[in-house]
Amino acid sequence: MQAIIIVGGGMVGLSLALMLAKLELKVTLLEAIKYPDYQAQGGETPYHSSFDARNTALSRRSVEIYQELGLWETLQQYATPIHQVHISEQGSFGKAKLVNTEEKVESFGQVIENAWLGRVLLQSVQKNAFIELIDGVQVTQLSQDKNKVSITALKDNHEIQLQSQLVIAADGRDSFCRQALGIGVDVHDYDQVAIVTTVQTSKPHQQVGFERFSPLGPLALLPLHGDYRRSVVWPVKKGTEQEWLGEENDQHFLDALQQTYGDRAGKFEKTGKRFSYPLSQVLAHQQISGRVVLMGNAAHTIHPVAGQGFNLCLRDAFVLCRYLAHQQQHGLDLGDHEMLKSYEQARLSDQKKVIFFCDKVVRGFSNHNPILKIARNTGLLAFDLIPGVKPMVATFAMGLKA
């Protein structure tokens, strides 16, 4: 059997490879950057461009997927549950709160550092007999006919030729494969840069996550492994990021957090190194071309507000595997175009809801019109008081209706 080729070995590509391997489908996974040698590093967890300084809030559905893959017992050692979510706007009256016991769930999700998540996924892939992992390899050509997809790649200045019935392109926002296929994109630049770090506070987080809309940008503060550690994702206006980066700005950054949050988290005592990432929405015009599927950020890159991006990608991967399992069980073509189009159609509703929600939240809370400010704060109060709204939103955020 020809191996399915996945281009892109970030967290989505690695997760997808493990899902396919569970179906006993052979996979060849290509990653452009050389992975860290964790054995040589000992206890250290070095950052890799795919397993960077950011943290991921795994939805309930994502946790279930990793449970089905047999990975959750290991991942859970580094994960922190979210038992409450507090939503508010600085200097305004509107507030809303989600509490896990009221919604009758163990948690709304789990927060895990990308470096740890990536390490567990990578080591699982490296041990899996169904997966051939080739890192440090650059795809230079992609073409296809009605029977196969052909890939040319370079590794250590040597050319590699690969063919498969099916190629899955999970090679990121600036996907080479998407460009090689001539698939266009719609791009919206939010004119924001996300400042990402970890902080320590004087009060324990008690598994509470905050989404705080401030004049500088929507600020997420999520609980991390260790009672006093919290993840910070703060989108700020592009061009102002240098004000928040560098050790010389540590206290300035902590003071800004303190002003934004007040004493909800206690005193912001320490901050780690800050990293910055430009924010834009990039949506591919189509996710299927012949025998090639776009996956992850190659298909849809969205704003990190509400932490939905990776969870959406994981649900895409899970549903694609369901379609491929059917093809495998019936001895059918894994790259059948009509089957792949059916997968694409099946995912559009979930994708559109998440993309619309995240985009409207960012645009809505970025507008400082006083009338709109009153309207959105009234909406927050309504969210907190009207029966039936919270369960609906919680279910959506947990990814349980996909």
Give dist(CA 138, CA 144) in Å, integer. 18
- The CATH number given to whatever domain includes residue 122 is 3.50.50.60
Q: Is residue 182 part of a domain?
A: yes
**Is 56 a member of any domain?**
no
pLDDT of 369 reads 44
Burial class (CB in 10 A: 0-12, 13-18, 19+), 393: middle
> Same domain, yes or no, for 205 and 177?
no
Residues 285 and 302 in one domain: yes
Q: Residue 392 maps to which CATH number? A: 3.30.9.10
58: in domain: no
Q: Which domain holds residue 243?
A: 73-111+189-279+368-397
Q: Does 263 lie in the same domain as 196?
A: yes
Q: Using DSSP, state whether 196 is helix, strand or coil.
A: strand
> What pLDDT is attached to residue 7?
98
288 and 353 share a domain?
Answer: yes
- Those residues whose C-beta lies under 8 Å from the C-beta of residue 141, and which sit 6 or more positions away, are 150, 151, 152, 180
Neighbours of 120 (CB within 10 A): 19
In the block, which residue shows the tokens 């950020």?
Answer: 297
Query: Is the dihedral angle over the CA atoms 185, 186, 189, 190 positive or is it negative?
Result: negative
Task: Answer with the residue of higher pLDDT: 107 or 374.
Answer: 107
Q: Give the DSSP per-residue string, 48-76.
A: BTTB-S-EEEEEHHHHHHHHHTT-HHHHG
Minimum mean pLDDT range among 127-136, 180-189, 216-225, 348-357: 216-225
In a domain, 292, yes or no: yes
Query: Is residue 365 pLDDT above 60, yes or no?
Result: no
For residues 70 and 362, the answer to whether their CB atoms sit within 8 Å is no
Residue 81 CA to chain centroid, in angstroms? 17
Please indicate, yes or no, whether residues 229 and 316 belong to a single structural domain of this protein.
no
Q: Hey, what are 336's tokens?
A: 């059948």
Q: Is the pLDDT of residue 251 over 70?
A: yes
pLDDT of residue 1: 47
On whether both 292 and 356 belong to a single domain, the answer is yes
Secondary structure of residue 198 in the 3-state scheme: strand
pLDDT (0 to 100) of residue 394: 52
Question: Does position 245 have pLDDT exceeding 70, yes or no?
Answer: yes
172 occurs within a structural domain: yes
- Pick from 62, 61, 38, 63: which is nearest to 51 by CA? 38
If asked whether residues 274 and 210 sit together in one domain, one would say yes
At position 212, the amino acid (one-letter code) is R
Rg (CA), the chain: 21
Instruction: State the average pLDDT over residues 266-274.
Output: 93
Same domain as 123, residue 104: no
Indicate the number of domains in the chain: 2
Asked whether residue 271 is assigned to any structural domain, the reply reads yes
* Most confident region among 55-69, 88-102, 300-314 by mean pLDDT: 55-69
Q: Is residue 353 located within the same domain as residue 287? A: yes
- Among 5, 3, 2, smallest CA distance to 29 is for 5
Contact 272, 229 (CB under 8 A): no
Residue 59 lies in a domain: no
Report which of 19, 122, 116 is spatially closest to residue 75, judged by C-alpha positions: 116
- Both 226 and 373 in one domain: the answer is yes
153 domain residue, yes or no: yes
Residues 26 and 148 in one domain: yes
Q: How far is residue 369's CA from residue 371's CA, in Å, rounded to a whole number? A: 6
* 211/256 same-domain check: yes
User: Would the pLDDT of 306 be above 80?
Assistant: no
pLDDT at 262: 86
